[in-house]
Amino acid sequence: MKLQKDIFLNTEGDQWYLRNKEHYSLSKQEESLLIKSLKTIEAAPAQVLEIGCSNGTRLNDLQHSFGSECHGVDPSSVAIEEGNTHFPALRLQVGTADSLPFQDNQFDLVIFGFCLYLCDRRDLFKIAAEADRCLMDGGLLAITDFQPPFAYRNGYSHREGMFSYKMNYAKMFSWNPAYNEIYTVVTSHAGFSKRDVPDEKVAVTLLSKNESFAYPTEPYK
């Protein structure tokens, strides 16, 4: 079976972007839930990476809100080309979550921009390791994705043989004592009025990374 990553790099990444382009319009009507969440916890990110950045609209909003240096990767070459044209201050490139072209500890905020539900299951450990590698100690991890009550998959409506995998993706990191979930807000992919429909539940989750707190020395001695 062909990997979903390869399908997105070859064709579906561009098709997904073109279908959803209106959502990533260059004129944003209101502050995103992610930015509101970051402001709620009084975050001040300086170096930001968004995985699944589309054309960089969200990163542009982040840059204007916090004055951050912003990098992004996305499998859609069309989205990246348009983003680099419209947002020259951003640093956008084609890429996937399992192999990030960045230095260790480069960012104090790493964002998964509603992309994990389409990633290959066999890559999840690599994806988590890559994000952790690039996120500095003391940094923040932000995940925007589906958050149903249990893990399952739906057929991907735009291509036969592909799937949308829905689960609580914060669990990819929260098992690690270095990561602590500090803020979560739940909404709906189909509008707030449908926030109680399990298949449509979406969450923005913020986790802090603090390696010095992970393993206290001899706490019972």
pLDDT, residue 193, reads 73
> In this structure, how many other beta carbons lie within 10 angstroms of the beta carbon of residue 41?
11
Both tokens assigned to 138: 């003391």
Residues of the chain with pLDDT under 50: 26-27, 29
pLDDT, residue 42, reads 98
Predicted TM-score (pTM) of this structure: 0.94
Per CATH, the number for 4-210 is: 3.40.50.150
pLDDT, residue 22, reads 78
- DSSP-derived pairing of the beta strands 179-188 and 201-209: antiparallel
pLDDT, residue 217, reads 93
Distance (Å, whole) CA 189 – CA 77:
25
pLDDT, residue 27, reads 45
Distance (Å, whole) CA 66 – CA 165:
32
